[in-house]
Chain A
Amino acid sequence: MTVAEVNQGGRAPASEAGREGDVGYVLHPEDRAAIECEMRHYEDSRATSIAALKLIQKRHGWVPDGAIPEIARLLGIAPSDLEGVATFYSLIFRRPVGRHVIKICDSVACFLTGAAQVQEAFARELRIGLGDTTGDRRFTLLPICCLGACDKGPALMIDEALLPNVAPEDVRTLLERYP
C-alpha cells in the first residue's frame, strides 16, 4: 500500500471491509454528543467536520466507510463533501491502521540529522515500508512533515507522543514499549 492510499479513501480490502460495519453504522452516543458539543463553537456546523472525523478515528483507529454518511447527516452536509475533507487531510485515515501509528519526520532538519537511517531501522525491525501496516496490526509506518522539533532531530511521533533525538540503535527498545 502506498502512503497516499492510507488516507486517500481507497476501500478497505474485502477481508477488512465490514469489520467495523460498512452498512448500518451507528454513531456511538458519546461521539454524537461530543460532535454536537463541538458544533456550538462555530456559526456553521460544517466546521466540525475535522473534529468529528478525529473523534470517530479515536474510537476505531480509522474512519470506517459507514461513518461518513452518518457524520455528514449530523452536520447537514453531503457525504461526498465530507469524504472530500476526509481524504484531503493526511492525519485522517480512511484505511485501517495498526494499533500504534509511527510518524517519522522526513523534513529538512531531520533529513540532515539522519532521519533516513532511523526510518530504515524501523523498516528493518518491522519488515514493512512507509505506508504499510504490520501483519499483526500492531504498527503502521508513515512519514510526516516537520514536527517543529528541528533542534531535536531526528524526531518522530508514536501515537500522540513526540519522541526527540531518536538514533537507529534505539528503535528496537522503543518498539517494545508499544504492545
Chain B
Amino acid sequence: MTGETKPLTYRIDLGAPLDLRAYELQDGYAAVRDALKNMPPQEVTRLVKDANLRGRGGAGFPTGVKWSLVPMDPTARRAKYLVCNADEMEPGSFKDRLLMEGVPHQLVEAMIVSAYAIQATRGYIFLRGEYTLAAERLEYAIREAKAAGYLGEHILDSPWSYELSVHTGAGRYICGEETALLNSLEGRRANPRFKPPFPQIAGLWGKPTVVNNVETLCNVPHIVLRGVDWFKALSRGKSKDAGTKLYGVSGRVKRPGCWELPFGTPAREILDEHGGGMREGLKLKCWLPGGASTDFLMPEHLDLAMDFETIAKAGSRLGTGLITVIDETQGIIAVLRNLEEFFARESCGWCTPCRDGLPWSVKLLSALERGEGRPEDIETLERLTHALGPGRTFCAHAPGAVEPLQSALRYLRPEFEAGVCRARATAGSLSA
C-alpha cells in the first residue's frame, strides 16, 4: 500500500498510530510546510476546487466552493473558524473512526492546511463523546504538533497563527447536522439553525465558519502535496468524482469492513471482492448504499458505480458510501421499524412534522410487523414520506429518515401488504 494509490489509509496503524517523528518521515506535515512557504491561501482553495473534492460526510457538496464563500478581506481582522465534523453517527457508517484512530496526525495536518486556506484563527474537532480512543490519540497528536511549531503563534515563521482543539460531544445524532453542530459547540441544545445566513458568513458565534467532514479534510494535504492531476486520476476514469473513497460493507456478509478504493468502484466489487459476499446460504434482498438515511437499492443495482451522480440517478444517495446489506431471511418491515425508531429517537423535536411524524411511522410499522396493520396504514406511510419530505421540515433529518421507507414501499410492497391483518382487511372492505 502506498500514498500514490491509497493516500488516506496507507499510514494507518490501529495498534499504535505514527507519532510526529514517524509521521514526518512519511511525508507528514510536508503539505503544511509547502503551503505556508509557497502558496497564498487562495491558492490552496483553488487547488481543492480544481481537484473537484466533494464532501465525504454524505451531502457531496464541493469543498472548494464551500471555502470560497468565506470572506477573505485581509483588513477584516476578526475571528474565523474551521470545524471538523467528527460526529460520525449515521447508522452503518464506520470510516471516520478508522482515520482518527489509525492516523490522527493526518487529520491534525489537514485541519492546519485547510484552516490556512480560509485563514481561520481557530479550529475545533467536534468529536462524538463515544469515540474515547480517537479523542485521546487526537489530543496527543495536537500536543505534539504544537510542540513542533505546526500550531500556535506564527506557524513556521509565517504571519499566520492558529490554535486547534478537540471538543467532545455527549450524544445525539442531530449534532452531525452542520448548524446543529454549531449550536452544540456553543453549548446549546443541538437544534438546527435557519439558513441563510450560511455558516461561511455567520457560523460559530456569528463568525465566518467552515464545517467539513473528517474524510473530506484528510484529502486536502494530499491534494496540496501531489497535485490536482494525480487526485483526479485516482478514480481511474471510473467516475466524474475524483480521488479515493472509504467504502465499506456491513450486515451478514463474510468479511465486513472498510477499504479505501478508487471513487466510483462498483458496489458489486465492494460487496463480493472486499466483503467476501453474503454469508453462506444467504441471498441479498436489498442494500443501503450509504447509511440509514439513503434509499434502498436492489440486487439489480449492484453493478452501479458508487459515486454521487450514478447512485442519485438510481433514485438513492451515495451518502457516506458504506453499504449495509439486508438478506432474504430478514423482514423489511422489522428493518424499517428499527431505522425509523432510530430517527424518531434522535429527532431534536424542534419542528412538528419530524417530532410527531417519525413516531407515527414507528407505530404503523410496528403494527405491520406484528401482522396487525390496517389496510389504510400503507397509504398513511406513503403520505408520511411526502409530509416529512424535503422542504416540509426545518432540516434534513426527517427527509433523510423517510428515504429508506419510500424506497421500500416502491420495491418491496408485498411485505407491507403481508402485515395487514386479514380480519381487519375484510372488515374494511365491508364497511366501504
Query: Which residue from B91, B130, B186 sits with its C-beta under 8 Å from A107?
Result: B91
B326 surroundings in chain A (CB, below 8 A): 112
State A126–B68 Cα separation when bound (angstroms): 55
In the complex, the answer to whether B345 meets A150 with C-beta atoms within 8 Å is no
A 38-53 to B, binary, CB cutoff 8 A, 1 in contact else 0: 0001011011111101
The answer to whether the Cβ of B179 comes within 8 Å of any Cβ in the partner chain is no
A 47-89 to B, binary, CB cutoff 8 A, 1 in contact else 0: 1111101100000000000000000000101000000110011
In the complex, the answer to whether A145 meets B252 with C-beta atoms within 8 Å is no
In the complex, the answer to whether B91 meets A109 with C-beta atoms within 8 Å is yes
Q: Main secondary structure on chain A at its contact with chain B?
A: mixed
In the complex, the answer to whether A47 meets B185 with C-beta atoms within 8 Å is yes
The answer to whether the Cβ of A149 comes within 8 Å of any Cβ in the partner chain is yes
Minimal Cβ-Cβ distance residue in B for A41: B165
Task: Give residues 136-195 of B contacting A (CB, 8 Å).
Answer: 165, 167-173, 184-190
In the complex, the answer to whether B93 meets A150 with C-beta atoms within 8 Å is yes
Task: Give residues 345-377 of B contacting A (CB, 8 Å).
Answer: 345-346, 348
Query: Which residue from A47, A53, A152, A157 sits with its C-beta under 8 Å from B170?
Result: A53
A167 surroundings in chain B (CB, below 8 A): none
A151 surroundings in chain B (CB, below 8 A): 94, 248-250, 256-258
B251 surroundings in chain A (CB, below 8 A): 109, 112-113
Chain B residues touching A, range? 35 or more
Of the listed residues A112, A160, A161, the one surrounded by the most CB atoms of chain B closer than 10 A to its CB is A112
State A134–B386 Cα separation when bound (angstroms): 43
B165 surroundings in chain A (CB, below 8 A): 41
In the complex, the answer to whether A51 meets B96 with C-beta atoms within 8 Å is no
Residues in chain B within 8 A of chain A (CB atoms): 79, 88-94, 96-97, 129-133, 165, 167-173, 184-190, 205, 248-252, 256-258, 288, 292, 322, 324-326, 330, 335, 338-339, 341-342, 345-346, 348
For this complex, 21 residue pairs linking A to B, each with C-beta atoms less than 8 Å apart, are A44-B205, A47-B167, A47-B187, A91-B170, A103-B130, A108-B92, A108-B288, A108-B292, A108-B342, A109-B250, A112-B252, A113-B251, A147-B130, A148-B93, A150-B91, A150-B248, A150-B256, A150-B324, A151-B94, A151-B249, A153-B250
Residues in chain A within 8 A of chain B (CB atoms): 41, 43-44, 46-51, 53-54, 75, 77, 84-85, 88-92, 103, 106-109, 111-113, 144-153, 157, 160-162
Beyond A50-B170, A145-B346, 6 additional contacts (C-beta under 8 Å) are: A54-B168, A89-B172, A111-B335, A112-B335, A113-B251, A146-B93
